Amino acid sequence: MAVIKVVDMNGKAVGEMELSDAIFAANVNESVLHTAVKAYLANQRQGTQSTLTRTEVSGGGKKPWKQKGTGRARQGSTRAPQWTHGGVALGPKPREYRVTMNKKEKRIAMFSALSSKVAAGEMVVVDKIAATEYKTATMAAMLKAVGADKKSLVILPAVDQYVVKSCANIEGVRTTVYNSFSAYDVLNCNTLIVAKEAVEKIQEVYAK
């Protein structure tokens, strides 16, 4: 099993922890990771944009001028796309952007994302992430101590309002719990900060 150093909120080493090779030392499947990122981004799209075609714009039933003899181009309606206030040609209509992945693909994507972070040395395990008051400085100090100076994802074993709200004002930092993050969330951060208890729960969930 892979072994990772465990630190406290001050960045000091307090021990080591064994990681499941199946989850944190798996082969990185870039193809499935690409699909996972594409699916996540596509599924954020609402697909509700819509424009009116010439048949849907009110008015324009009368022919602007007679067909011949005016010296101007023939026109059949003032609601044609080339007219001001006319319909839109080939404009967007409501559509479904959703991309689906099966359970096996999602697991492979998650294992690949976590394994890539461990291999790159971008995952930090903290023995306990906690706060006793709403104070941004506490979380900012922890992030600095563990070397997370850019975009970070903090994974907790359970929702802790003190930690969540203390991190909310720190730019580039997101918090989540062990069962509510995706492969995209892991890849979209520079540093993955995970509470030791959260790692244990992740291994318990994916061991099934």
Q: Which sign, positive or negative, has the C-alpha torsion 147, 152, 157, 158?
A: positive
Q: By the 8 A CB rule, do 89 and 57 touch?
A: no
pTM above 0.85, yes or no: no
Q: What is the pLDDT of residue 192?
A: 95
The burial of 25, by beta-carbon neighbours within 10 Å (0-12 exposed, 13-18 middle, 19 or more buried), is given as middle
Segment 79-123, tens digit of pLDDT = 999 999 999 999 999 999 999 999 999 999 999 999 999 999 999
Q: How far apart are CA 46 and CA 110, in angstroms?
A: 25
Question: In the structure, what pLDDT confidence band is assigned to residue 135 with cuts at 50, 70 and 90?
Answer: very high
Q: What is the pLDDT of residue 58?
A: 95
- Domains belonging to the chain, first-starting first, are 2-39+101-206 (3.40.1370.10), 46-96 (no CATH)
Q: By the 8 A CB rule, do 161 and 126 touch?
A: no
Rounded average pLDDT over 23-33: 94
Residue recorded with tokens 């990122």: 37
